[in-house]
Chains A and B, each alone.
Chain A
Amino acid sequence: GEDVEQSLFLSVREGDSSVINCTYTDSSSTYLYWYKQEPGAGLQLLTYIFSNMDMKQDQRLTVLLNKKDKHLSLRIADTQTGDSAIYFCAESYPGGYQKVTFGIGTKLQVIP
């Protein structure tokens, strides 16, 4: 079955880089996503990567995918206090209409 695992908590100092890790089990995953959820808000798509890619960079965000190890990471450069939120890793896999499985989320705390 599908399963997405993440560490629960990460604390970094403002200005440092943050790396949030995720592992998934479904080798047929086609897209992998990172969502951000701020308190009291819905999920906001940050970035996604297609499964045949190794890396994707978007401004301060870098996504690395190791398909062999089924490992996905999100690096946030120059982390700011506004980056404090819960980050969800998610995978989608074939089966007709899109089905997305979310991890439990990693809470990122940025210390000023």
Chain B
Amino acid sequence: EAGVAQSPRYKIIEKRQSVAFWCNPISGHATLYWYQQILGQGPKLLIQFQNNGVVDDSQLPKDRFSAERLKGVDSTLKIQPAKLEDSAVYLCASTSAGGEVGDTQYFGPGTRLTVL
């Protein structure tokens, strides 16, 4: 079974530029998560999708971050415009069922973003 795929693996941009990350979850996984992991910290949930609907985006900085999951499969996370403090690894994860308590989250390798 293929794992969660993410691209690009690395991205360097200047502040105020835009950037987009892509995630392809494990086939058939209904629930998809985007996390932000700042260096030296644990992952922080940005947004959670159930199929193509948003379940939780309470910690997503909506003035600059946006995410979509068209057709309930792949997802993109966009930052526009980027700030220095957005430098982090952006992790995508998915679960097979409804994202209910106890469901195992499978993580992708992440996209490391550096904002100069």
Contacts and interface: CB of A to CB of B under 8 A. Distances in A.
Given A44-B107, A97-B55, A31 B102 contact: yes
Interface in B1-53: 4, 31, 40-45, 48, 50
B56 A97 contact: yes
Contacts of A104: 40-42
Interface in A5-56: 30-31, 40-45, 48, 50
A98 B107 contact: no
Contact of A97 (B31, B43, B104, B109): B31
Q: How large is the interface on A (under 10, 10 to 19, 20 to 34, 35 or more residues)?
A: 20 to 34
Interface string B79-99: 000000000000101010011
Contacts of A44: 107
A45 B31 contact: no
B105 interface: yes
A98 B100 contact: yes
Given A42-B110, A43-B107, A105 B42 contact: yes
Interface of B: 4, 31, 40-45, 48, 50, 55-56, 91, 93, 95, 98-110
